[in-house]
Amino acid sequence: MAKPTPITAVKGFRDVLPEESARWRALEDAALRVFGRYGYGEIRVPVVERTELFARSLGETTDIVEKEMYSFADRDGTGLTLRPEATASVVRAYLDTGLANRDPQTRLAYRGPMFRRERPQKGRYRQFHQIGVELFGRDDALADAELLMMLMEYLAVVGARDTRLELNSLGDATCRPVYRERLRAFGEAHRAALCGDCLRRLERNPLRLLDCKVPGCRAVLAEAPLMRDSLCAACAEHFAAVRALLRAAGVAFTEAPRLVRGLDYYCRTAFEVVAGGLGAQNAVGGGGRYDGLVAALGGPDVAGIGFALGVERLAMATAPAAAAGPTVVTVLPLEERAVEAAFRLAAGLRAADLAVVVEAPGRSLKALLRTADRRGARLAVLLGADELAAGRATVRDLVAHADRKGALPLDGTPAALAASVRALLAGPAGT
Q: Output the smallest distance, CB 35 to ligand AMP, in A.
A: 16
Among the residue ranges 117-125, 144-152, 166-174, 407-415, the one whose residues contact ligand AMP (CB under 6 A)? 117-125
Instruction: Look up residue 144 and give its amino acid.
Output: D
Question: Residues 59, 171, 206, 285: which binds ligand AMP (CB under 6 A)?
Answer: 285
Nearer to ligand AMP, 308 or 421 (CB): 308
Cα 428 from Cα 402, distance rounded (Å):
10
| 107 counts as binding ligand AMP under rule CB under 6 A | no
The residues facing 340 across adjacent strands are none
| 20 counts as binding ligand AMP under rule CB under 6 A | no
Q: Output the smallest distance, CB 87 to ligand AMP, in A.
A: 8
Sheet holding 48-50, edge to edge: 48-50, 79-82, 70-73
| 130 counts as binding ligand AMP under rule CB under 6 A | yes
Dihedral sign (CA 225, 282, 143, 145): negative
Tell me phi and psi for residue 292, to 5 degrees: -95, -5
3-state secondary structure 229-267: HHCCHHHHHHHHHHHHHHHHHCCCCEECCCCCCCCCCCE
Q: Output the smallest distance, CB 398 to ligand AMP, in A.
A: 39
Cα 269 from Cα 165, distance rounded (Å):
12
Question: Residues 40, 54, 110, 125: which binds ligand AMP (CB under 6 A)?
Answer: 125
Among the residue ranges 142-150, 159-167, 309-317, 403-411, the one whose residues contact ligand AMP (CB under 6 A)? 309-317
Residues composing the chain: 431
Cα 39 from Cα 54, distance rounded (Å):
27
Rg (CA), the chain: 28
The residues facing 271 across adjacent strands are 167, 287
Cα 176 from Cα 210, distance rounded (Å):
14
Instruction: Look up residue 349 and give its amino acid.
Output: L
Give the x/- contact pattern for ligand AMP in 59-88, rule: CB under 6 A.
--------------------------x---
Cα 395 from Cα 8, distance rounded (Å):
42
| 128 counts as binding ligand AMP under rule CB under 6 A | yes
Q: Output the smallest distance, CB 240 to ligand AMP, in A.
A: 25
Question: Residues 22, 99, 283, 339: which binds ligand AMP (CB under 6 A)?
Answer: 283
Question: Residues 92, 107, 116, 289: which binds ligand AMP (CB under 6 A)?
Answer: 116
Among the residue ranges 1-9, 118-126, 228-236, 350-358, the one whose residues contact ligand AMP (CB under 6 A)? 118-126
Question: Considering CB under 6 A, how many residues would be counted as binding ligand AMP?
Answer: 16
Given the rule CB under 6 A, which residues bind ligand AMP? 85, 116, 118, 123-125, 128, 130, 283-286, 308, 310, 312-313
